Structure 1
Amino acid sequence: MTHLVSPVRRIIAATTTAVVALGLVSCSTDSSQEGANGAAEVMAEGASTSEVVDDSPYREARAENVARVVSEDFPSTPTVISDADYSGIKASELFFDSSDNVVVAGNGIAEELRAASIGVVAHAPVLHARGDNNAAVMAEIERLGASTVLLIGDALPELAEDETITKVIHDDGTEEGLAQLTALQFETKQVDTVEDLVRETASLTPEDQTLLAPAWGGVAPTPSDDKLAAFPLQSKRDGEMSPIVIASPESGISAVATARAFGAEIRFMDYPDPRFNQEQMKMVAGLADRPLLALGDQFGTGEQLAEKIKRGEEVTTELPGGGGLVFPGRRMVALYGHPSGPALGALGEQPAAEAVARATDMAAQYQEFEDQPVIPAFEVIATVASEFAGDDGNYSNEFPVEDLVGYVDAITEAGGYAVLDLQPGRANFLDQAKMYEELLKRPNVGLALDPEWKIGPDEQPMTRVGSADAAEINEVSQWLADLTAENDLPQKAFVLHQFQLEMLTNRDQINTDHLELAVVLHADGHGNAGDKYATWNMLREGLSPNYFMAWKNFYDEDFPTFTPQQTYEEVDPRPWFVSYQ
């Protein structure tokens, strides 16, 4: 598949609020003094008490969160509890110094949910023995000093009663067996989807005695004539002094259950970044430098989580469709091109207002197949590769801001998003990006880099498919991330176009960790469906999970052009950004 003869082509491409300490309470007696000192500093700068105003949407949530009394046994700053093997061992180590009783689940979601349901009611840690981690689970049981172990499913077949474990109980998977174990009557609640597993586990309460069971099948019963021994119930350990704990769909069931068994409150996030929406920000407001536990590596490091909280509190401007993250939370459908006319893409086929109406109609067609908001977007070519060297000799025409601003204004004022696309020729991506700093300081304008039109100092466009190295990409991403942070802007789309592996050299070295950027890989392949899928799958091989995927539909070069339904239901994974050329 070649793109050399195609027309020049290629979405994706804050307000700072005063945070005032109203009086901070924690397990340390220094916290209230810290709040007093903060107020004194404000007064020293000449502000009266009546002038100290916190108009943040998180004011009440922050006050409630920081007033929480937390035991000094827990880390004093945001901490991520790793659970790579979903064993729940790290959570058990953090929450329980010891425990007479432990629940261990074998392989299978049904087994984990049953173990979680029992563990929460019994206030006992819950571990997940998958077979390949049995030795680590056994070591954790020993550390806890457990005398009674309840096994669910095929867990730990090698476990034998010895001088340290006085009782090993094998659950039989039946309702009668559950009643014998606990002397309680559980009510079964069906979990319909995988996405709801952690949410439902986080909502378990000892008082309700709920037995969670997946809709697609339960624990295989192994009834016996023998009555099961009682599994002793313990008291909760938290003493109303546990930190707030957050979880997401990627968190481990056993880790979540262990935190609930301890007595901790679990706040469930649909996405492991509090900036996803205001509801999630309220869960953690004020906790950037205070105790907070996050279950699972999907939250990043503790330092990264703290920085996300800080950014979320400082930047309250929301993107079209809500929230402070580009993706997820919305998808985009864009027209690609240049205001000068149709030669460079669909965007220029009509004036700005008509282009907005067209993009809005396209987004509405896609909305029929998507639950998240689908918003209209423009990808506006800002610098266009040229066959002529030009006065500066860089084979790229850099259009002034005033030529682009009409289209940018039109789409953003209509509740959409704009991405500026760079085709640098011999120029440097960073130098060209800086030309559009004025537009990039807007909260709903992102940046796209098109390596197809990036050539060497002695080359001319269209003699080969261009390329850019990770080092140059990283220069731009660092500058854009700094610009975003310094101007208190919500996250920006940072789009990289690619249809051949050689276009992004050392792609594995591209920095995708900037909290200020949503890094998007835009697959530009055209042709028949088979060719497009082949390009899509090839580009995704070895790709960091930090990228969001984007797809392009061509009106004249696809055979045929995909429909909205095809694009959303047949392209896997579903693209976050779809552009039309």
Structure 2
Amino acid sequence: MALPHAELEQARMDNLTRHVAQNFLREPQVVGEPNDSGVAVSQLLFEKSDTVVISDREIHHQLRAASIAVVAHAPMLLMNDTDRDAVQAEIGRLGARYILAIGDVGLPKTTGNVKVIPDSGSLTALGKLTSLQFRTQRIDVSNALSAVSRLDGTHPMWLLTNRQEKVQSSPSDGEVSAFPVQSRRDAGAAPQVIATQESGIAAVATARSYGASVTVMRFPDPRLNVESMRAVAGLSDQPLIALGSQFGTSQQLSERIELGERAPLALPNKTGLVFALRTLRARYLNDSYVSKRADIPYGANYVRTIARPLSSQDQQDWKAWADAINAQDGFVFIEIDAVHRDADEILDSVEEIVSQPSIGVILRNAAQVCARSPQSRQRIADRLMHWNSEVINHNGDQLGVVLEGVDILRGGVCGISPQELMGLGLAILPARGEHLGGDATVNSQLYWDDWFVAERESFQPTGTLRSPRLGLIIRD
């Protein structure tokens, strides 16, 4: 399946030509929990290991442990009271003989045949442990996970936070003994690994110590920006490791990748990609202005998009105008006010227009649908669902139905929950901070003058939100 945008097609080809060892499943795997001990990733990647790096949860210790684990090609695990049994069981499964203890991990110096090596925390100790010369790099704590994902096993680097003191040497350096450095495990055949900020340092460091490349994504749903889709393009049925249950189930992740690839990601005007986080800038046109301005500017951050009210005017004239805008690679929205007495009849009559590519609908005052007669309410709800399930979706979800004015609702539109509406491909943009069913939150910024912008600042999707097009423009 070819993607409609050359950049993603190249990413897909790169991902599919990656050589991956046969022992990995030919499908995405979601491994572990957010900020866990790293045991789940270690179990997946390492059959055995003579060495293990153990850290407590103090951020300075985690960064030091990650810095050593990656160059030593050893799993990194986090030790605390809740994970102690699982960590000790993993040490036994790996058959480890050397444990490097960083911070307060509560391990005796010897446990059977296992030697526990204490770390003094100095730069000198790094040389004694690994016989390697480490450089140092200061990072902001907020960028810690990304920094760990970039650690390179061939270039020893000690990650320090901006406020952390760099200890050159310590009186305890004499107690530090050699910590064997092992060879890279993956032989260049590891799957692509994806993470988010919730994945945790131990999981990312363990993947890097194995030899896998790790992409830290802004959102666990890859459909929400182009960088994420680039990392997973082509991998809906190929080896892929996702660090943490924030990615959903393995099946959900696979479906999201497939849905993202099916969408027509390239805009007609070739200025960028269609994703839910994309900002669209639109000219709102009234009847007297509609024929005078089709030259809406566009660029890398916004798209030529025009919205026009539709009431009882000649629909053939409207269709001709929409065709002209489409010919200029623009997007068009029909605006229909639910308060209008003929709203259901208007919705019934415009299917031919809506079925065209790059044309969507804004239903203003959507809450007022519930105040209409039962027959009218049902006709409107049926029409919206029909458009999204049978008419609009066959155009690849380029546009959809935007419900404006639903922020005052608490139980959905006429008994239909916001999640169900989004599952149909409908778009809802509530007021700032409004919660959708307690799961997803959309924060919006609205600016109103001759131009208006609807911008999604943050979006946490759930498994029920299946459409990669979750709304384009909103009129307040």
Match of 1:544 among 413, 434, 439: 439
5+ residue gaps, structure 1: 1-16, 20-53, 342-349, 365-371, 383-396, 462-467, 524-535, 556-560
Q: Cα distance 1:399–1:257, how it changes in 2: closer, same or farther (>3 A)?
A: farther
Q: Specify the code of the residue in structure 1 equivalent to 2:394.
A: E
Aligned counterpart, 1:191:
139
Q: Cα distance 1:59–1:379, how it changes in 2: closer, same or farther (>3 A)?
A: closer
Matched, 1:77 2:27: yes
Contact 2:333 2:361 in 1 (8 A): yes
Q: Cα distance 1:475–1:83, how it changes in 2: closer, same or farther (>3 A)?
A: farther
**Structure 2 length as normaliser, TM-score?**
0.76
Contact 1:334 1:580 in 2 (8 A): no
Q: Cα distance 1:223–1:501, how it changes in 2: closer, same or farther (>3 A)?
A: farther
- What do residues 88-112 of structure 1 show as CA deviations (whole Å, max 9, x unaligned)? 2221121112322222232243332
- What do residues 476-509 of structure 1 show as CA deviations (whole Å, max 9, x unaligned)? 5685266555333447575553343447377866
Matched, 1:453 2:368: yes
- What do residues 317-336 of structure 1 show as CA deviations (whole Å, max 9, x unaligned)? 413752242x22x2234455
Aligned counterpart, 1:224:
171
Q: How does 1:162-177 map to 2 (within 5 A)?
A: 163-164=111-112, 166-177=114-125
Give the Å deviation of 1:68: 3.9
Aligned counterpart, 2:467:
none
Q: Specify the code of the residue in structure 2 equivalent to 1:424.
A: A
Equivalent-residue separation in structure 1 for 2:256 and 2:345 (angstroms): 26
Q: Cα distance 1:502–1:270, how it changes in 2: closer, same or farther (>3 A)?
A: closer
Q: Specify the code of the residue in structure 1 equivalent to 2:442.
A: F
Give the Å deviation of 1:550: 2.7
Match of 2:95 among 126, 145, 163: 145
- What do residues 360-392 of structure 1 show as CA deviations (whole Å, max 9, x unaligned)? 6xx99xxxxxxx82556545444xxxxxxxxxx
Q: How does 1:331-346 map to 2 (within 5 A)?
A: 331-334=279-282, 339-340=286-287
Percent pairwise identity: 29
Matched, 1:511 2:405: no
Aligned counterpart, 2:395:
487
Give the Å deviation of 1:354: 4.3
Count of matched residue pairs: 459
Contact 2:307 2:334 in 1 (8 A): yes
Contact 1:287 1:309 in 2 (8 A): yes
Match of 2:50 among 88, 100, 107: 100
Aligned counterpart, 1:9:
none
Matched, 1:497 2:405: yes
Contact 2:28 2:237 in 1 (8 A): yes
Aligned counterpart, 2:162:
215
Q: Cα distance 1:55–1:412, how it changes in 2: closer, same or farther (>3 A)?
A: closer
Indicate the larger mover: 373-382 or 200-209: 373-382
Match of 1:160 among 105, 108, 111: 108
Give the Å deviation of 1:118: 1.0
Contact 1:433 1:476 in 2 (8 A): no
Give the Å deviation of 1:208: 0.8
Aligned counterpart, 2:152:
205
Equivalent-residue separation in structure 1 for 2:60 and 2:216 (angstroms): 21
Match of 1:522 among 416, 420, 430: 430
Equivalent-residue separation in structure 2 for 1:165 and 1:418 (angstroms): 71
Indicate the larger mover: 142-151 or 206-215: 142-151
Aligned-partner SS, 2:116? strand
Aligned counterpart, 2:184:
236
Q: Specify the code of the residue in structure 1 equivalent to 2:156.
A: Q
Aligned-partner SS, 2:121? coil
Q: Cα distance 1:67–1:317, how it changes in 2: closer, same or farther (>3 A)?
A: closer
Match of 2:239 among 288, 291, 296: 291
**Structure 1 length as normaliser, TM-score?**
0.64
Give the Å deviation of 1:123: 0.6
Contact 1:78 1:306 in 2 (8 A): yes
- What do residues 206-243 of structure 1 show as CA deviations (whole Å, max 9, x unaligned)? 11112223335468999434421222212222133322
Q: Cα distance 1:166–1:488, how it changes in 2: closer, same or farther (>3 A)?
A: same
Q: Cα distance 1:190–1:457, how it changes in 2: closer, same or farther (>3 A)?
A: same
5+ residue gaps, structure 2: 460-470
- What do residues 389-413 of structure 1 show as CA deviations (whole Å, max 9, x unaligned)? xxxxxxxx57675465577668777
Aligned counterpart, 2:254:
306
Q: Specify the code of the residue in structure 1 equivalent to 2:338.
A: P
Matched, 1:109 2:59: yes
Q: Cα distance 1:406–1:491, how it changes in 2: closer, same or farther (>3 A)?
A: closer
Q: How does 1:468-483 map to 2 (within 5 A)?
A: 476=384, 480=388, 483=391
Equivalent-residue separation in structure 2 for 1:74 and 1:446 (angstroms): 45
Aligned-partner SS, 2:138? strand
Q: Cα distance 1:226–1:199, how it changes in 2: closer, same or farther (>3 A)?
A: closer
Aligned counterpart, 1:465:
none
Matched, 1:432 2:350: no
Aligned-partner SS, 2:405? strand
Contact 1:62 1:285 in 2 (8 A): yes
Equivalent-residue separation in structure 2 for 1:479 and 1:220 (angstroms): 65
Contact 1:494 1:517 in 2 (8 A): no
Equivalent-residue separation in structure 1 for 2:429 and 2:312 (angstroms): 24
Equivalent-residue separation in structure 1 for 2:51 and 2:120 (angstroms): 18
Contact 1:430 1:475 in 2 (8 A): no
Contact 1:87 1:127 in 2 (8 A): yes
Contact 2:36 2:202 in 1 (8 A): yes
Q: Cα distance 1:501–1:310, how it changes in 2: closer, same or farther (>3 A)?
A: closer
Q: Specify the code of the residue in structure 1 equivalent to 2:251.
A: E
Q: Specify the code of the residue in structure 1 equivalent to 2:206.
A: T
- What do residues 41-96 of structure 1 show as CA deviations (whole Å, max 9, x unaligned)? xxxxxxxxxxxxx9976666545543444333222212222322333222112111
Equivalent-residue separation in structure 2 for 1:70 and 1:178 (angstroms): 33
Contact 1:429 1:449 in 2 (8 A): no
Contact 1:103 1:119 in 2 (8 A): yes
Contact 1:102 1:148 in 2 (8 A): yes
Equivalent-residue separation in structure 2 for 1:403 and 1:250 (angstroms): 52
Aligned-partner SS, 1:510? helix
Match of 1:373 among 301, 321, 328: 301
Equivalent-residue separation in structure 1 for 2:407 and 2:123 (angstroms): 56
Match of 2:214 among 241, 244, 266: 266
Equivalent-residue separation in structure 2 for 1:430 and 1:111 (angstroms): 66
Match of 2:205 among 245, 250, 257: 257
